[in-house]
Structure formats: C-alpha cells, structure tokens
C-alpha cells in the first residue's frame, strides 16, 4: 500500500508523485495541515480559505478518498504506517526552508521503518540546484538567471496525463472532515473573497486557456494595466499546485511564438528566480539580503500602517489596490509595486510589515515570491530595484489607470471626480469636489503623508547608509 502525500500539488493531472504511486499499486491519498512548531510560516487567512475549497475539489477528483489530518506531519505519517500496511510513500518536493528540513527528517524516519520514500518535482520548471553560474554559485540577477541559466538548461519536462487507473484502499486510521480542519474564518470573509474565483483544478485549466486565447494578445503592454484582463491570474493555482508551471509553459510553447508569449514565459521564470533565491538564501523571508539595510531607519506599526492596510491613505491608486486585496484576495502586479514602494519609501515602514499583510490577505501568498518581491521593492534584495526608484502614486495612477476604471471600481466614493483630479483629489477646486459629492477628510481621507518630503527623507536615509562603511 502506498501513501500519496499531497502538499502544494493539489491536482490529479501532471502530478509525478501521483503517477508513481498509482503505478506502484493501491493508494492512500492524504493531506496534512501541518500546524506544528516545525512550520515557521503558518498559512495566512486568505490562503486557508483557498486551501479549503481546493481540498474539497481534490477530494472529488479522488472519489472522496482523500484523508485529511492536522498536526505534526512526522508523527502523523508514523501513525499512518503503524495503522496500515504501508510499503512506500510518494510526494512532490516543496522548497520552503522549514519544509526542506522537515521532509529530510521524515524521509529518514520512514526509511528506518522500512518504507520506501520517493520525491519528485511537480512545481518548478527547473530545480534550484540545476540553474547555477559557471562557478557553481547561484544567480543574483534575474536576466542572466533566465537567459544564461534557465534557457540553456535542460528543457522543462512535458506534462503527464492523469493516471489511467487509481485504486484506493480503506484507511484504518481515523481522519478529519474538511470542516474540522478549521480553515474558514469566523467572519464570512471567505465568501467575499472566493466568489471572485473558481478555486478548482478545472478552474485553473479554464483560466489558462482563456488567458492564452484572449489575455495574451496584448500581454506585453496590457500586463501593466490593472483595469484590463491581460494577465493570467494563475498565481494562486500555481502556488497550490492546481496547475503546474510545466502545463502552462508547454501550452504557451504550443502556440505561435510572439513577443507577448515570450514576455509571459519570462514572467513564469520570475517565479523560478524567487524559488532559486529562497533555496540558496533561506534567510530571504526574515533578513535583508543586503546587510547594510539592517541599519535603515524603517519604522514599525502605528496609524499609517493601519491606513495603508485599510486602503485609507488618501492616495486613490494605493487605496484601490489595498481594497482589491481585501475584497478579492488578489492585487494586480503593477499595483503591488506601487503600494509596496509607498509603504517602504513614503511611509518609511519596514517591508516585513507589508510582506506580513500580503501573506495574510493574498490567495496566492507564496513564501518565495512574496519575500523576494518585497526585498526587491525595498531595495535590499539580491536583484533589487534601485533604492532611489520611488514610485509616485499620482503619476503611476495617471499612467497605468488612465481612464480611472480600476480606481473607481475599488474607491467608489471618488467615482464622480473627473479624471483630471481622480489621482490627486486634494488639488480639485471646492466646486468640483462638491459636484462629485466628495468631502475630503470625511467621505475620503486627506493624504496621510506628503509625497515630496517623505521621498526626500527616504533618499537622505539611503544616502547616509551608502556613505557608511560597506558591510
């Protein structure tokens, strides 16, 4: 009897471990919500909501045979082996530092019990140890990582079909009902978020097909416009493994190539780059990769952080993004960059607070992509945006949401303001504000920070850091 341990691979198609388990014989499919101390990165609220529905879907695909557990994965796997006649265990690899440590330990424990353990790659196009510089060290800059590293490495494997036959066994160890995992919040926020998504494996495939038939047509330019449906919105499915990057990569290669598809493929490689950084620099989620930033005078907490989280900063594009995040569990990439820059370079708040809020609210919250992106935005990462690049939320709004469609959708109290003032309502004459029923400070906040002074403060702090001794 073979355990198939589902983790971040909640799918039946293109699942290498499931294929191997099915070939080996009878399967006992399990999922463990590991909330033990080994888990240093407990899942955020939105991810838990997504997981709830994704597990329900996976269980349907496995004809109701998925056994659910909660607790310490090592202890549970040992008990499963004691209660059933287990000969082997299959899983697909994860790359979070705590999971790597835990899985090594589990592998050793099960092997000592005489259980054969086999792990596979189901979530990356290239393993992090496969793409290295000539001298054997990891890349720290994206373009050479992708061009010299990925594109000259072995091509990503082609996707596998769903196993033709899966024979399930009776599990002798009692398991949890889905509701008993406690993944849904006490407030009905899950319904607010999940109504925007079809969080099933089929939903992932549909999203991919729709995108490759429609959204991709204007991806290169349109991917920067938050009002447009020009990006795939595949990130939560990729995170939970409801679709594999190989399925997406090969589907994109099967079409006539153009600059839109090439740009999309390179975006998929940004995900690979984040995983490579996390693997080679496991301190990525917790420490500035550039040590000199440890002395940067970033602040913690306070009213400004709360205003940012609640989408009440007085800067409409920032508020639209933060409200999109709360209402849908997602935020468009361009807007993620604008709100991130605002947090660390105008509010001068530590990037880890932004990372933590995203971690809790994003349905695609991913340790590698989230921490690499926040370090990039903050300027302290491996391949960071230069610190002096401060996004101006007024200019960004005017440029990337020209007609204001996105901003008006999430900040409806400004919907009647003319485009000219939409991204800077404080400059609107009184009669314009009155006509649009906007009362600054009452129906919509005044800006919580002055852009020019805060930018100068940030740059001065950075300059001081640069002039210090190199670390």
Q: So which residues are the catalytic ones?
A: 267, 270, 298, 333, 351, 374
Residues contacting 286, CB < 8 A, separation 6+:
352
- Write a three-state SS string for 58-115: HHHHCCCCCEEEECCHHHHHHHHHHHCCCCEEEEECCCCHHHHHHHHHHHHHHHHCCC
298 binds ligand FAD (CB under 6 A): no
Angle at which helices 245-253 and 259-280 pack, to 10 degrees? 150
List the one residue out of 65, 46, 82, 48 whose CA is nearest residue 6.
65
For residue 238, state whether it binds ligand FAD (rule: CB under 6 A): yes
Please report whether residue 364 would count as binding ligand FAD according to CB under 6 A.
Answer: yes
Distances in whole angstroms, Cα of residue 365 to Cα of each of 69, 133, 342, 450: 22, 29, 20, 30
Helix (H), strand (E) at residue 28: strand 27-33
Residue 199 binds ligand FAD, judged by CB under 6 A: no
Q: Should residue 374 be labelled a site residue for ligand FAD when binding is judged by CB under 6 A?
A: yes
Structure tokens at 261: 């598809």
Residue 357 binds ligand FAD (CB under 6 A): no
Q: Is the sign of the CA dihedral 220, 225, 231, 234 positive or negative?
A: positive
The whole-angstrom separation of Cα 193 and Cα 195 is 6
* Residue of 2, 61, 92, 235 interacting with ligand FAD (CB under 6 A): 235
Q: Is 126 in the site for ligand FAD (CB under 6 A)?
A: no
The residues that bridge with 69 in the sheet, in sequence order, are: 32
Task: Candidates 61, 274, 313, 375: give the one binding ligand FAD (CB under 6 A).
Answer: 274
Count of residues for the chain?
Answer: 471
Residue 36 is a binding residue for ligand FAD (CB under 6 A): no
Q: Note whether 239 binds ligand FAD by CB under 6 A.
A: yes
Q: Which is nearer to ligand FAD, 52 or 336 (CB)?
A: 336
Asked if 184 touches ligand FAD (CB under 6 A), the answer is: no
Scanning 81-89, 120-128, 267-275, 395-403 for contacts with ligand FAD by CB under 6 A, the matching segment is 267-275
Total residues binding ligand FAD (CB under 6 A): 27
Which stretch, 89-97, 154-162, 306-314, 336-344, contacts ligand FAD (CB under 6 A)?
336-344
3-state secondary structure of 2: strand
Piece of 50-58, 276-284, 361-369, 448-456 that binds ligand FAD (CB under 6 A):
361-369
Least separation in angstroms between residue 302's CB and ligand FAD is 20
Give the CA distances from residue 453 to residues 109, 345, 450, 456, in Å, rounded to whole numbers and listed in that order: 58, 11, 6, 5
Exactly one of 18, 377, 438, 451 binds ligand FAD (CB under 6 A); which one? 377
324 binds ligand FAD (CB under 6 A): no
- Select 198 or 267, whichever has its Cβ closest to ligand FAD: 267
Least distance (Å) between residue 379 CB and ligand FAD: 12
Decide: helix, strand or coil at residue 297: coil
Among 77, 86, 320, 365, binds ligand FAD (CB under 6 A): 365
């Amino acid at each position: 009897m073979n355990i198939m341990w589902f983790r971040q691979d909640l799918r039946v198609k293109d699942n290498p471990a499931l294929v191997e388990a099915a070939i080996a014989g009878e399967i006992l499919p399990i999922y463990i919500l590991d909330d033990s101390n080994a888990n240093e990165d407990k899942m955020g609220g939105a991810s838990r909501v997504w997981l709830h529905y994704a597990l329900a879907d996976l269980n349907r695909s496995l004809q109701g045979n998925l056994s659910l557990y909660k607790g310490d994965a090592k202890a549970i796997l040992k008990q499963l082996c004691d209660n059933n006649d287990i000969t082997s265990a299959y899983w697909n690899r994860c790359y979070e530092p705590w999971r790597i440590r835990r899985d090594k330990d589990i592998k050793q424990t099960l092997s000592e019990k005489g259980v054969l353990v086999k792990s596979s790659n189901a979530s990356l196009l290239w393993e992090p140890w496969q793409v290295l510089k000539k001298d054997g060290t990891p890349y720290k800059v994206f373009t050479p990582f992708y061009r010299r590293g990925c594109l000259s490495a072995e091509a990503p494997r082609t996707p596998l079909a769903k196993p033709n036959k899966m024979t399930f066994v009776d599990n002798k160890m009692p398991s949890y009902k889905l509701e008993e995992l406690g993944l849904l919040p006490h407030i009905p926020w899950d319904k607010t978020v999940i109504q925007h998504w079809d969080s099933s494996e089929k939903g992932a495939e549909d999203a991919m097909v729709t995108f490759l038939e429609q959204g991709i047509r204007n991806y290169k330019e349109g991917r920067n416009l938050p009002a447009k449906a020009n990006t795939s919105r595949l990130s939560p499915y990729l995170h939970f493994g409801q679709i594999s990057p190989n399925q997406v990569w090969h589907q994109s290669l099967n079409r006539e190539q153009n600059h839109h598809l090439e740009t999309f493929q390179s975006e998929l490689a940004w995900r690979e780059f984040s995983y490579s950084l996390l693997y080679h620099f496991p301190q990525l989620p917790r420490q500035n990769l550039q040590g000199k930033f440890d002395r940067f005078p970033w602040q913690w907490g306070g009213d400004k952080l709360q205003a940012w989280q609640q989408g009440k900063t007085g800067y409409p594009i920032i508020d639209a993004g933060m409200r999109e995040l709360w209402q849908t569990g997602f935020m468009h990439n361009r807007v993620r960059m604008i709100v991130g820059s605002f947090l660390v370079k105008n509010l001068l708040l530590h990037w880890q607070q932004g990372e933590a809020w995203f971690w809790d609210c994003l349905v695609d919250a991913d340790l590698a992509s989230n921490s690499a992106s926040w370090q990039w935005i903050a300027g302290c990462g491996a391949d960071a945006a230069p610190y002096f690049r401060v996004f101006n939320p007024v200019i960004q709004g005017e440029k990337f949401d020209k007609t204001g469609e996105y901003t008006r959708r999430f900040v409806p109290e400004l919907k009647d303001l003319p485009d000219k003032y939409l991204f800077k309502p404080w400059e609107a004459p009184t009669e314009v504000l009155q006509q649009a029923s906007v009362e600054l400070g009452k129906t919509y906040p005044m800006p919580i920070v002055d852009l020019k002074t805060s930018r100068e403060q940030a740059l001065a702090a950075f300059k001081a850091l640069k002039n210090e001794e190199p670390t």
